[in-house]
Amino acid sequence: MADVLLFHHALGPTDGLRAFADELREAGHTVHTPDLFEGRTFGTIEEGVGYAREVGWDEIMARGERAAEALPNELVYGGFSLGVMPAQMLAQNRPGARGALFFYSCVPPEEFGEWPTGLPAQIHGADADPIFMEEGDVDAARALVASVDDAELFLYPSDQHYFADSSLPGYDADAAKLLTQRVLAFLARTD
């Protein structure tokens, strides 16, 4: 079974994130969900991103690195939106990465250096989400898929950024179910 390091989005470690991690655990995977915000949660994306800016992106990234230090190198790195930043940086730069799961966001790989040869990736986003579709994430995702042998981009019919977080009003149960099935199939082949 896979060992997964999963970073939360800008609202912090929500009940929906914990529920998703629990679904992966029920399938037999080990899932680590560190808190990049040190106990803080936020009601809006703007508030959470504001906190990250206040703390500093370098510190948020360092918190992600510290979360990985005590774990084995052979991890699947996952991140939801803001959490994609540390997940992608670690997946690209920490030796031994087994896979990368990016939800609601993707960064051009050159931000963190070269994409490791043979590292599989899945990117999940909503096809009408203004953040994912209009702020460069989908372009980065498409470029990654075009340049990597084992990368997939999945688009879901929704205009919600956090469509798979069951604790938020924009939750789409059908899309979240399909996303979870795809993630479980991905994790099964990274063992």
Identify the band that residue 71 occupies on the pLDDT scale cut at 50, 70 and 90: very high
| pLDDT value, residue 166 | 98
Identify the band that residue 13 occupies on the pLDDT scale cut at 50, 70 and 90: very high
- Do 103 and 80 form a contact (C-beta atoms < 8 A)? yes
Q: Give mean pLDDT, residues 4-12.
A: 98
Closest CA to 90 of 113, 108, 123: 113
Q: Give mean pLDDT, residues 171-183.
A: 98
82 has a pLDDT exceeding 80: yes
| pLDDT value, residue 164 | 98
Domain boundaries, the chain: 3-188
pLDDT in tens, 135-161: 999 999 999 999 999 999 999 999 999
Q: Give mean pLDDT, residues 93-120.
A: 96
| pLDDT value, residue 191 | 74
Residue 163, Cα to own-chain centre: how many angstroms? 13
- Residue type present at position 139: D
Q: CA-CA distance, 162 to 129, in Å (whole number)?
A: 9
Homologous superfamily of 3-188 in CATH? Alpha/Beta hydrolase fold, catalytic domain (3.40.50.1820)
Q: Give mean pLDDT, residues 64-79.
A: 97
